[in-house]
Structure 1
Amino acid sequence: MSIGFINIKILLLLSMENKKNFFILIVNWNGYDDTVECLNSLNNLSAEEFQTIVVDNGSSVDSYLLLKKNFPNIKIFRSETNLGFSGGNNLGIKLALQNKADYILLLNNDTVVEPNFISQLLRVFELDENTGIASPKINYYDSPDIVWSAGGRISKIRGSGFALGNIKSDSISEEIKEVSFVSGCCMLIKKEVFDKVGFLDDDFFLYLEDTDFCIRVRDAGFKIFVANKSVIYHKVSKSTIKLEKPVSLYYTTRNRLLLVRKHFKAYLPVTFIYIALTMSLKSLYWIFVGKRNNGKAVFHAIKDFLRNKKGKIDEKTYGKL
């Protein structure tokens, strides 16, 4: 056997050892058309091989069957009930980890991607070994030159993450920027993060679970970066447009309080007063414009927080907000 052949064999073995298992996870909830457009955009990726998992999160049976029929080469799993953003993603994350995933990309179904967006995200992990999450610059689908979210900071008093957005996409000069918060719309996460931090918190069900996760990731010693050369486009709010606005108000109000109590307990009295006052003023406005259900949702959210109720709203108790 020649020396040259031995060297080639060694290089092949090293290449196989360094190959990473890469999974893309998409949660679908009655969003068949959006999910199809998202999956089709992934066909153009100029990145290393990946596997796609779609979790159908309690959609109508027709939506699920159409996905199964039209995408036979994609792993599609179904939950009989809506597990929320956190629960649906957790189901997919566990499936990916069972299949030896090294990296898992959480991607909203109402997005489309640029062909090089994954390769730009992976560069971040190569540049800093302490990277836990890398996120792209997320622009508006309908206004592709305007940024919706490019990472940001977390306000302890207001109990929420605030992202840089509503600016021209080309006005951001930094190629890579460390941040304390990125949107769950798109997160590339390495396996070690889940080993150390765990999964998304089901207590939130919908909204703020990404903020909570970012806090825990940074507390565990990992870094979070936005790669501004990685770009995707988001149909903002389309994934939750099926929920009436009062439902969104319920979850955001309650979960902001949950977040502060969980991570910044010393700020809770100030946060509670801030939210109670601002929402009371908004409720007066909602009464004036005939949107009483918005105020009702906020009232139930604060009451449920005080009663330590978490997870999915109990529609049997409150009716459909």
Structure 2
Amino acid sequence: MGAEAAFGSFRIALDIGSNDPAPAPIEVARDVDCCRLAEVARLYRLVLQTAPDCPGLRHHVDLLAKGSTLAELASSLMAVSGDVRDDRQTAARLFWARAGGNPAAFAAAWRRASGLADFVAELARRPLARDNILRALFPFGVDPHDDDAGPAWGYRLWAAEIDAVLARVSRRFARLLRAFGACVVLTLDLDPDADPLLLDATVSALREQRYRRWRLLLHGQAPAGWVAPADPRIVRDEAADRPRWRRGVLRGVLRPGEILSPHALGTIALAALRRPRTAAWRTDEDRIDPAGVRSEPMLHRSAGLVLRRDREDATGRERHLPLVLLHRRVPVRPPSTIVDDRAVLPSVSLVIATRDRPGLLQRCVDSIRRTIASYPGAVEIVLVDNGTEDAGALDLLERYRGEGCVVKRRPGAFNWSALCNSGAESAHGEVLVFLNNDVECFRDDWLDRLVCAVQQENVGAAGAKLLFADGRIQHNGVLIGPGTVAAHRVDGVAEAEPVRRSVSAVTGACLAVRRTVFVRQGGFDESLPVTWNDLDFCLRLRRGKLDIVLAADSVLRHDEMGTRTPDHAPENVAQLASSLRIIRRKHGRGLRRSLCRDRFLHPFLLAESGATRLDSDVAPRLLVVLAMGGLTLTS
């Protein structure tokens, strides 16, 4: 049977794997904390039928660390529970049923137990039916950087669950990979100044791969005293390209200190079978300390393991396997590539809608004037007054008019789209930058960076990174979908991404667009007066094959909601519902199609969290990603 025939039931087989009635236990090499965490959580669910709160979880895990047994913990919890009566066998049947055990097997299991507490402890040591410790402990997602709001083992437990699913998939497709899997050829660049311990760690992890079809080519001079292990698959580079490798070759580079996950090569080889014309695969990475404790996941970046297909007919695009398959002992920050041409920058019009609030307006305009002195092109400020009545604000507008600003009166009901469109009609710049009057500029290069990003031909609009007053990120792009879900990205996980990257949308609090593009799109939709108008504009640009770019090197402060009440305030609910109906009518089909919730969001990050939390329910999405052979790279 050929590889394509063998793959005929690939998706079905993976779906079956996700419903495995007896899932493999969480595999946590050298990480006892995760095992204890799972055991305590199961005890709570068996005895108290609830998930432990953080203090309770920490307390019981600490007791285990100090020498208490799981049976002793079970006994103390049963003392709290009202389910344990004099008839201990009846209580054991109750716990057995809660664990999803086969009723016919109960008698044998009860005979083997030395007592009720030992019986319950034994149940807690193995996964429950439909077990999902992550979802029970982290119903709103796992924050990998937060040790205070949740258990310190959050990310390690999440990563262990990923590894367990990969182990099951690896076992299921072991025969297929042995028959059709490509040979993985990795080059290890040696350096005489390299740390021998890092080299040993890298080579040892490679030799522990579950997938056996690999070769390691040693290149360069090894450090003094380091000798490569005696393994026929580890050779000098002159022994490469053996003619018997007829099943295809995937090539990559390893560096000292890079530790491969045990299932890394097999997972990529499986994706290569699924996508025979894809040119390359990129994975994610995290940090690992000498004790094997993992932290700091770096998702959807230019780092991670990269394997390229060594075949001329590999014409497909690169794909992203959104899995942490490489662990790094030594951190490496990838270089940022920025197209930055300040020699010729176009004229700019800054369009600001305002009403009353003289303090906000003065802070905004004065900060703009302080920070644009070095901009090489012409800059004008257009103030669109939406019926100001405050005497101080009226005096301020007249003062700004006398100092060269364009002041346009447009009274009536607040309609941000109409105000911005009106301001654009009075503007003369080649680039329009729409700003809220609650924005403050504090860096001299913010406008240069923003305009450099938007003047690229393939870019429709660009936005800036916005900060709260205390320095926290308020906006780093907007995440959209599926449906009418939208949230500001605050980059709790992927904080080291390039300073210029594509996003689904940017906020209108700071949005730059070339005048020609703005006119061609018809400006902002005035049927969306308050919400979704900026996102609608970005979605229309994307539908026209133009990119939306986040210029994270252009940084402003934003006093969000400084000029209006929240969208979900009672007085705004009707308007919000109307806007959502319009968005569903205009973009509903596109918003429904999204495996990853947002095409620029890592599939295991939650959009509603602003990309700060990992999805607790990892298995179903992981299996779909594997069945697809990875995701097409979009940024």
Do the structures match in fold with TM over 0.5?
yes
Residues in 2 aligned to 1:40 and 1:92: alpha-carbon distance in whole angstroms: 19
Kindly report which structure 2 residues correspond to 1:3-14, keeping only aligned pairs within 5 A, or say none.
none
Which amino acid letter does the alignment assign opposite residue 108 of structure 1?
N
2:488 corresponding residue in structure 1: 163
Q: Kindly indicate whether the alpha-carbon contact (under 8 Å) linking 2:357 and 2:393 is maintained by their aligned counterparts in 1.
A: no
Q: Kindly indicate whether the alpha-carbon contact (under 8 Å) linking 2:454 and 2:513 is maintained by their aligned counterparts in 1.
A: no
The answer as to 2:367 corresponding to 1:41 is yes
Q: Kindly indicate whether the alpha-carbon contact (under 8 Å) linking 1:85 and 1:206 is maintained by their aligned counterparts in 2.
A: yes
Residue 227 (structure 1) shift: 0.8
2:385 corresponding residue in structure 1: 56
1:110 corresponding residue in structure 2: 438
1:263 corresponding residue in structure 2: 587
1:131 corresponding residue in structure 2: 459
Residue 156 (structure 1) shift: 3.9
Residue 167 (structure 1) shift: 4.3
Which amino acid letter does the alignment assign opposite residue 53 of structure 1?
V
**Which of 523, 526, 539 is the equivalent residue of 1:202?**
526
Residues in 2 aligned to 1:195 and 1:238: alpha-carbon distance in whole angstroms: 29
**Which of 84, 90, 99 is the equivalent residue of 2:421?**
90
Residues in 1 aligned to 2:521 and 2:587: alpha-carbon distance in whole angstroms: 14
For each residue in 1:180-239, what CA deviation from the matched residue of structure 2 results, as whole angstroms up to 9, or x when unmatched? 111111001101212321111111111110111111111122111011111001001111
Residues in 2 aligned to 1:165 and 1:251: alpha-carbon distance in whole angstroms: 26
Residue 173 (structure 1) shift: 3.6
Residue 24 (structure 1) shift: 0.4
Q: Kindly indicate whether the alpha-carbon contact (under 8 Å) linking 1:147 and 1:167 is maintained by their aligned counterparts in 2.
A: no
1:287 corresponding residue in structure 2: none
Residue 242 (structure 1) shift: 9.5
Which amino acid letter does the alignment assign opposite residue 347 of structure 2?
N
Residue 250 (structure 1) shift: 2.5
Residues in 1 aligned to 2:590 and 2:479: alpha-carbon distance in whole angstroms: 19
For each residue in 1:241-274, what CA deviation from the matched residue of structure 2 results, as whole angstroms up to 9, or x when unmatched? 3999222333223212220111115879xxxxxx
Which amino acid letter does the alignment assign opposite residue 129 of structure 1?
E
Consecutive unaligned residues in structure 1, runs of 5 or more: 1-17, 269-321
Residues in 1 aligned to 2:590 and 2:576: alpha-carbon distance in whole angstroms: 20
**Which of 70, 75, 80 is the equivalent residue of 2:406?**
75
Q: Kindly indicate whether the alpha-carbon contact (under 8 Å) linking 2:531 and 2:579 is maintained by their aligned counterparts in 1.
A: yes
Consecutive unaligned residues in structure 2, runs of 5 or more: 1-343, 593-635
- Higher relative contact order at CA 8 Å, sep ≥6: structure 1 or structure 2? 1
For each residue in 1:126-176, what CA deviation from the matched residue of structure 2 results, as whole angstroms up to 9, or x when unmatched? 5x3211111110111x212x111111332141x1432212749x9344211
Q: Identity across aligned pairs (percent)? A: 21
Q: Does the C-alpha gap of structure 1 residues 34 and 196 become closer, same or farther in structure 2, counting only changes over 3 Å?
A: same
Q: Kindly indicate whether the alpha-carbon contact (under 8 Å) linking 1:104 and 1:190 is maintained by their aligned counterparts in 2.
A: yes
Classify the secondary structure of the residue corresponding to 1:44.
helix
For each residue in 1:30-72, what CA deviation from the matched residue of structure 2 results, as whole angstroms up to 9, or x when unmatched? 2221011000101122323300000011221625521233312
Residues in 2 aligned to 1:34 and 1:204: alpha-carbon distance in whole angstroms: 24
RMSD, matched Cα: 2.4
The answer as to 2:557 corresponding to 1:228 is no
Residues in 1 aligned to 2:508 and 2:490: alpha-carbon distance in whole angstroms: 15
Q: Which has the larger radius of gyration?
A: 2
For each residue in 1:260-301, what CA deviation from the matched residue of structure 2 results, as whole angstroms up to 9, or x when unmatched? 111115879xxxxxxxxxxxxxxxxxxxxxxxxxxxxxxxxx
Classify the secondary structure of the residue corresponding to 1:228.
strand
Residues in 1 aligned to 2:502 and 2:589: alpha-carbon distance in whole angstroms: 25
Residues in 1 aligned to 2:590 and 2:379: alpha-carbon distance in whole angstroms: 43
Residues in 1 aligned to 2:388 and 2:566: alpha-carbon distance in whole angstroms: 12
Q: How many residues align?
A: 243
Residues in 2 aligned to 1:183 and 1:19: alpha-carbon distance in whole angstroms: 23
Residues in 2 aligned to 1:222 and 1:266: alpha-carbon distance in whole angstroms: 15
Q: Kindly indicate whether the alpha-carbon contact (under 8 Å) linking 2:350 and 2:433 is maintained by their aligned counterparts in 1.
A: yes
- TM-score normalised according to structure 1 size: 0.69
Residues in 1 aligned to 2:345 and 2:489: alpha-carbon distance in whole angstroms: 34
User: Which structure 1 residue ranges, 4+ long, deviate > 3 Å from structure 2?
Assistant: 170-173, 241-244, 265-268
2:470 corresponding residue in structure 1: 143
